Amino acid sequence: QKFVYDFSEGNKDLKDLLGGKGANLAEMTNLGLPVPPGFTITTEACKAYLASGQVPPRLQDEVSRHLAALEERMGKKLGQADDPLLVSVRSGAKFSMPGMMDTVLNIGLSDESVHGLAAQSGDERFAWDSYRRLIQMFGDTVLGIDGERFSETLEEAKSARGAATDVDLTADALKDLVQKFKNIVSEETGRDFPQDPREQMDLAIRAVFDSWNGSRARLYRRQERIPHDLGTAVNICSMVFGNLGPDSGTGVAFTRDPASGQQGVYGDYLQNAQGEDVVAGIRNTVPLADLEQLDKASYDQLMRIMETLENHYRDLCDIEFTIERGKLWMLQTRVGKRTAAAAFRIATQLVDQGLIDEAEALRRVNGNQLAQLMFPRFDSNGGLEGADQIGWGIAASPGAAVGKAVFDSYTAIKWSRSGEKVILVRRETNPDDLDGMIAAEGILTSRGGKTSHAAVVARGMGKTCVCGAEELEVDTKRRCLKTADGRVVEEGDVLSIDGSTGKVYAGEVPVVPSPVVEYFEGRMHAGADDADELVRAVHRIMAYADRVRRLRVRANADNAEDAARARRFGAQGIGLCRTEHMFLGERRELVERLILADTDTERDQALGALLPLQKGDFVELFESMDGLPVTVRLLDPPLHEFLPDITELSVRVALAESRKDANENDLRLLQAVHRLHEQNPMLGLRGVRLGLVIPGLFTMQIRAIAQAAAERRASGGDPRAEIMIPLVGTVQELEIVREEAEQVIAEIERERDVELGLSLGTMIELPRAALTAGQIAECADFFSFGTNDLTQTVWAFSRDDVEASFFTAYLEKGIFGVSPFETIDKDGVGSLVRSAAEAGRATRPDLKLGVCGEHGGDPESVHFFHEVGLDYVSCSPFRIPVARLEAGRAAA
């Protein structure tokens, strides 16, 4: 197996071996495009080096052979004194890893060969500029010298000579600068800048290898779930120069607009410059279209190449190119990044062009992109014009939020209770800010990145967040915010923050609903004349997804309004109706009476009062989901949630007692609160345990379901109720409930003379239930995996606490890239789901299987549930389109 491939030997499918950059350079070479000759050192070579800490002798030999061939072909030797061959050394892993070491250009220049380059190019200034770039990049990336030292020295040279940009520095000035840069190298490393060109190249190769294991790279990989053992490839490419005068230059281009997907000429060009100048924004680029005036031949050739590349890759490509004295060279291409809207547009455009089929179009978009398109945003038609932008941070959690600035959680809660919309502004957030974050429309911080507490928690809550807006100075003591130009935003001043772009505005920016949501809501039709292209694209892609998906998609909904929305969004039933939400508000008092009942009569009275209310709820729900299954889950939460807070009540009773006017009811309540108080309520009296301990509770609910179904049937409806028992750990629990349920249902069927066809199943949300699923299936018509509780109990993570406590640390350490409450932990929780599904079906082949935890609407998790063969996923109404799309993608 060889360690080095000439560009002509590889192809785009060899990314594992040659990295993304190397594989695509090879592909372009073989397409006959003008790529400067060069070769790629494989990821295998990198792995061999990292394993032994030594450059394998075989690699040295192969590099020597390929270098000799390159020199032969170019007719000059690396660093040759009178006419030097120069090369670039670039890293290139399988996955692009921003922030890793990237590029060293102009390898091969030395005190001697710089003169040769000057003579050959006829441009002394160019030669010295190239040399100073080499020392700067080499010093920074290979020798590890702080880049600031070089850039400061460069700035000093410019201001000393009154030069506006680096192009204005003369050859003499650059000569002087090279000497200063060499001095920096000697001072910082204790040795001179290496003059031997092969040594420069070898050191640069080793530095690229070593960068694979740098701490930044390791952290990035852990978070992005990129394996640590892939290694990086190294590309050695003969240099072409964009800084040889006005007939030279460098640029980047896209085969279509990465923001909108529109076909056209997109990109930037910079005359008389090398690649890093464009990225660094040192001088102003011109639009790519201007190249037509500057160099028509190169422009025309570039347009033809872009067409070739798009047809070949069948996707948007981005490109880096250089023009050296009128000759065009391609330095890089790859399938380009794009916005969510562009992804949908491009996928359907390519179908229309006949370049890809519908299944491929589905694979080209994803649920996260669709979710992004469903957030409201600032009105880009005029609304953002003239908006007063005061800062820019990290787009941490998408959406648009407008509200009054508040600087602490207490004020956020207080103001929002009185109906104000607020933006919580903090330097950084911590778990104490949680309530304030919940109360706020959006969160703005001046510190921290995408994994900071604010970002993680806000994303979890689906709340707009901009974090790390560093030029904004947050003064929590004085309750104000200072902008970079000294303006002050006081508490109560209105701010608008854009969680999709990271921009922060003073004042109110108008917000518009997402056109995609308008479409799903049925307020906009894809066929209408004024429907935009995005809506049409979403419509078409959703249609493909619905056609191919196997998983059905249901909603978690417990009122008619949510059910109706869910139906509009494409729900095929309700997978989870949490009945505890029906016991709040004024009904709480009835539950209190139920809990406090001393006698059977008192208890029956309380249940009797609840029954018609429950029945009414179900009638509405069955009506809004007529003809579709509705899974009603019996009461789940610990009872104390329906009683007053223990501390508050204790204080109240104690005060009353000291005044000697304690009331009887409060005393009874306090006793009950004490009796029901649990150290670990999540592991306590809840779910099926409640049903077994409080006589009549579950039968009341079952009776309400059966009566409601009978009523709907009587009025011509088609109710399809399924009764679900929560928190079952053993089949015996289910047997008892089933026996009671069957009696009640039979009774009502007899009374009303109907057959209701009610089914009865259970949640699988405890490890023991999953482990004994084969037994439990004997007694269940269906399973619905409660992956929230299953995650909580498998990991022993309290679902109510962890996100705000140690998850940030876990995310920062890369223990997981995303919370297991958000994306299913396939190896742990997921393997229990898989084995329980298999065991359940082994007992009962027609067992219906679904999932109703939060994971039911998470893109990656939906793929997993498809794979393990579930019948449906159930998620919140807004997530339904995302789940439909991902179910389609999983099947495509």
Instruction: Name which of 135 and 870 has its Cβ closer to Mg ion.
Output: 870
Quick check: helix, strand or coil at residue 265?
A: strand
Instruction: Name which of 573 and 853 has its Cβ closer to ligand PEP.
Output: 853
Show contacts with ligand PEP in window 558-577 (CB under 6 A).
576
Torsion angles phi and psi, residue 495, rounded to 5: -120, 150
Instruction: Name which of 426 and 640 has its Cβ closer to ligand PEP.
Output: 640
The pair of three-digit structure tokens given for residue 799, joined into one six-digit string = 């679902």
Instruction: Name which of 370 and 790 has its Cβ closer to Mg ion.
Output: 790
Measured in whole angstroms, how far is the alpha carbon of residue 722 from the centre of its chain? 35
**Under rule CB under 6 A, residue 789 binds ligand PEP:** yes
Instruction: Name which of 409 and 874 has its Cβ closer to ligand PEP.
Output: 874
Write down the catalytic residue from 237, 317, 852, 875: 852
674 is catalytic: no
| Partner from ligand PEP, Mg ion, none contacting 853, C-beta within 5 to 8 A by type | ligand PEP
User: Shortest distance, CB of residue 281 to ligand PEP, whole angstroms?
Assistant: 48
User: Shortest distance, CB of residue 89 to Mg ion, whole angstroms?
Assistant: 55
User: Shortest distance, CB of residue 633 to Mg ion, whole angstroms?
Assistant: 9
Measured in whole angstroms, how far is the alpha carbon of residue 483 from the centre of its chain? 29
Instruction: Name which of 19 and 637 has its Cβ closer to ligand PEP.
Output: 637
852 is catalytic: yes
Instruction: Name which of 231 and 830 has its Cβ closer to ligand PEP.
Output: 830
Residue 334 β-bridge partners: 318
Helices 588-596 & 600-624, crossing angle to 10 degrees?
150
Q: What is the largest CA-CA distance in the chain?
A: 107
Among 11, 775, 788, 843, binds ligand PEP (CB under 6 A): 788
User: Shortest distance, CB of residue 726 to ligand PEP, whole angstroms?
Assistant: 7
| Partner from Mg ion, ligand PEP, none contacting 576, C-beta within 5 to 8 A by type | ligand PEP
| Segment holding 521, helix H or strand E | none
Nearest to 733 by CA among 771, 780, 678, 774: 780
Contact 333, 849 (CB under 8 A): no
C-alpha span between 247 and 271 (Å, rounded): 7
Binding mask 681-720 for Mg ion (x = CB under 5 A): ----------------------------------------
Near ligand PEP by CB under 6 A, which window of 97-105, 132-140, 428-436, 787-795?
787-795
User: By rule CB under 6 A, what count of residues binds ligand PEP?
Assistant: 10
Contact 317, 306 (CB under 8 A): yes
User: Shortest distance, CB of residue 708 to ligand PEP, whole angstroms?
Assistant: 21
C-alpha span between 263 and 255 (Å, rounded): 7
* CB-based contacts of 37, cutoff 8 Å, min separation 6: 6, 7, 70, 73, 74, 237, 238
**Under rule CB under 6 A, residue 786 binds ligand PEP:** yes
Instruction: Name which of 633 and 889 has its Cβ closer to ligand PEP.
Output: 633
Near Mg ion by CB under 5 A, which window of 47-55, 343-351, 601-609, 763-771?
763-771
User: By rule CB under 5 A, what count of residues binds Mg ion?
Assistant: 3
C-alpha span between 60 and 445 (Å, rounded): 50
Nearest to 251 by CA among 208, 283, 228: 283
* Nearest residue to Mg ion, by Cβ distance, number only: 789
One DSSP character per residue, 112-164 reads THHHHHHHHHT-HHHHHHHHHHHHHHIIIIIS---HHHHHHHHHHHHHHTT-S
Near ligand PEP by CB under 6 A, which window of 249-257, 460-468, 517-525, 781-789?
781-789
**Under rule CB under 6 A, residue 852 binds ligand PEP:** yes
User: Shortest distance, CB of residue 758 to ligand PEP, whole angstroms?
Assistant: 21
User: Shortest distance, CB of residue 727 to Mg ion, whole angstroms?
Assistant: 7
C-alpha span between 173 and 151 (Å, rounded): 15
- What sign has the CA pseudo-torsion 564, 566, 569, 572? negative
Near Mg ion by CB under 5 A, which window of 307-315, 374-382, 693-701, 786-794?
786-794
Contact 274, 336 (CB under 8 A): no
Write down the catalytic residue from 453, 539, 640, 866: 453
> How many C-alpha atoms does 500 have within 13 Å on its Cβ side?
20
Instruction: Name which of 197 and 840 has its Cβ closer to ligand PEP.
Output: 840
Contact 78, 84 (CB under 8 A): yes
**Under rule CB under 6 A, residue 765 binds ligand PEP:** yes
**Under rule CB under 6 A, residue 222 binds ligand PEP:** no
C-alpha span between 555 and 878 (Å, rounded): 9
Tell how strand 782-785 and strand 848-851 pair up.
Answer: parallel
User: Shortest distance, CB of residue 872 to ligand PEP, whole angstroms?
Assistant: 13
User: Shortest distance, CB of residue 559 to ligand PEP, whole angstroms?
Assistant: 15
Tell how strand 327-335 and strand 317-324 pair up.
Answer: antiparallel
Among 789, 822, 825, 854, binds Mg ion (CB under 5 A): 789
| Partner from ligand PEP, Mg ion, none contacting 829, C-beta within 5 to 8 A by type | none
**Under rule CB under 6 A, residue 853 binds ligand PEP:** yes
Among 20, 275, 502, 786, binds Mg ion (CB under 5 A): 786
Contact 731, 775 (CB under 8 A): yes
User: Shortest distance, CB of residue 851 to ligand PEP, whole angstroms?
Assistant: 8
**Under rule CB under 6 A, residue 636 binds ligand PEP:** yes
The pair of three-digit structure tokens given for residue 341, joined into one six-digit string = 């809207």
Measured in whole angstroms, how far is the alpha carbon of residue 640 from the centre of its chain? 37
Show contacts with ligand PEP in window 405-434 (CB under 6 A).
none
* CB-based contacts of 891, cutoff 8 Å, min separation 6: 548, 549, 550, 551, 866
The pair of three-digit structure tokens given for residue 307, joined into one six-digit string = 């067409």
C-alpha span between 515 and 345 (Å, rounded): 14
Near Mg ion by CB under 5 A, which window of 207-215, 288-296, 540-548, 758-766?
758-766
User: Shortest distance, CB of residue 877 to ligand PEP, whole angstroms?
Assistant: 15
Instruction: Name which of 370 and 851 has its Cβ closer to ligand PEP.
Output: 851
User: Shortest distance, CB of residue 558 to ligand PEP, whole angstroms?
Assistant: 10
Near Mg ion by CB under 5 A, which window of 407-415, 444-452, 784-792, 815-823?
784-792
One DSSP character per residue, 660-710 reads T---HHHHHHHHHHHHH--SSGGGSS-THHHHHHSTTHHHHHHHHHHHHHH
Instruction: Name which of 489 and 760 has its Cβ closer to Mg ion.
Output: 760
- Report the amino acid identity of residue 758: L
Give me the residue label for tokens 């029956």. 604
Near ligand PEP by CB under 6 A, which window of 184-192, 582-590, 651-659, 783-791?
783-791
User: Shortest distance, CB of residue 365 to Mg ion, whole angstroms?
Assistant: 32
Among 578, 588, 713, 844, binds ligand PEP (CB under 6 A): 578
DSSP letter for 509, please.
P
| Partner from ligand PEP, Mg ion, none contacting 852, C-beta within 5 to 8 A by type | ligand PEP
The pair of three-digit structure tokens given for residue 768, joined into one six-digit string = 């023991």
Measured in whole angstroms, how far is the alpha carbon of residue 262 from the centre of its chain? 25
C-alpha span between 269 and 247 (Å, rounded): 12
Contact 291, 302 (CB under 8 A): yes
Near ligand PEP by CB under 6 A, which window of 173-181, 212-220, 750-758, 786-794?
786-794
Near ligand PEP by CB under 6 A, which window of 190-198, 502-510, 671-679, 782-790?
782-790
Instruction: Name which of 519 and 785 has its Cβ closer to Mg ion.
Output: 785
The pair of three-digit structure tokens given for residue 270, joined into one six-digit string = 């910079």
**Contacting residues toward ligand PEP, per CB under 6 A:** 576, 578, 636, 765, 786-789, 852-853
User: What are the catalytic residues?
Assistant: 453, 852
**Contacting residues toward Mg ion, per CB under 5 A:** 765, 786, 789
